Amino acid sequence: MTDILIGLTAIITTIILYQVAKKIYYLKPSPFTLPIFLSTVIIVLCLLISDIPYHTYMMGAQWIDLFLGPIVVSLAIPLYRQLGLIKKFALPIIVGIFAGSLMGVITGTVGSLLLGFDRWLIQSVAAKSVTAPIAISITETAGGNISLVAVFVMVAGISGAMFGPSILRLCRITHPVAKGLSIGTASHAIGTAKALELGELEGAVSALSMIISAVMVSFLVPVILSLI
């Protein structure tokens, strides 16, 4: 009975906090009031203050986590609707995804190498820009720490959603295909959710970029790690 109450409390609290964060973002739009960022920070602080272990919280929150799979699959809908435009820009999209995937791996591995990090840490940061299940699989094969890469993936996703649109405006990138491509390649599913707010075409290209970049990174990581 206690487990059921903990589970219900975790689910209800998470949903309420996210809805509150959405209202705050609507009133005060800012990278730091983005619902995914703000609600995550609040939940972490609540767990720390109340001294509730993460696994206890996940007894209920895991049911929310189960919906991530169907949500990712549903991204095929805007992808299908924008299929004609995606075919039109097929070559720039593929080249852009490859360039973004390559830079994502290089910035993590070479940056860590220049900072003098241990080999296992370099192996853990290499796949930071792809969606969590694939990043964990790549990291496990490479010999890195899967718990650590999960954190890196979360940071890449949330930071991309927070600052990606601002960086695009700063760089004067206005084409919807370019915007979706850059966000999806760098910030996977969380970034794609933000790209959908910008427009359906941005969201469709971002979803496509997330999928293709995951495949490309799975090949690039072993090659680049073997060279450093």
- Local confidence band at 61 (pLDDT 50, 70, 90 cut-offs): low
What is residue 4's predicted lDDT score, i.e. its pLDDT?
A: 66
Burial environment of residue 182 by CB neighbours within 10 A (0 to 12, 13 to 18, 19 or more): buried
CA torsion 112-116-117-119 (nearest 10°) is 90
Using alpha carbons, select from 101, 192, 183 the residue that is nearest to residue 138.
101
CB within 8 Å of 17: residues ≥ 6 apart? 39, 42, 43
Q: Where does residue 173 rank: exposed (0-12), middle (13-18), buried (19+ CB within 10 A)?
A: middle
Among all chains, which residue has been given the structure tokens 């973002």? Answer: 25
DSSP 3-state of 178? helix
Contacts of 91 (CB under 8 A, 6+ apart): none
- Range 47-68 average pLDDT: 73
71 pLDDT higher than 80: no
State the residue for tokens 């852009």: 96
Predicted confidence at residue 65, as pLDDT, reads 66
| Cα 149 from Cα 175, distance rounded (Å) | 32
Taking only the tens place, the pLDDT of each residue in 7-29 is 677 778 888 888 888 888 888 88
Pair 97, 185: CB distance under 8 Å? yes
Distance of CA 206 to the CA centre of its chain: 11
Q: What is the pLDDT of residue 3?
A: 61
Sketch the domain layout of the chain as residue ranges: 2-66, 76-227
H helices then E strands: how many in the chain?
Answer: 12, 0
Four-point Cα dihedral 181, 182, 187, 191, nearest 10: -70
Is residue 34 very low, low, confident or very high in pLDDT (cuts 50, 70, 90)? Answer: confident
Phi-psi region of 87 (alpha: psi -120 to 50; beta: other; left: phi over 0): alpha
CB atoms within 10 A of CB 159: 16
CA–CA separation, 71 and 69 (whole Å): 5
- Residue 215 pLDDT > 80: yes
- pLDDT band at 1, cuts 50/70/90? very low
pLDDT-wise least confident of 81-85, 99-103, 176-180? 81-85
pLDDT in tens, 108-145: 888 888 877 778 788 888 778 777 778 878 887 877 77
What does pTM read for this prediction?
A: 0.75
- Phi/psi at 165 (5° precision): -60, -40
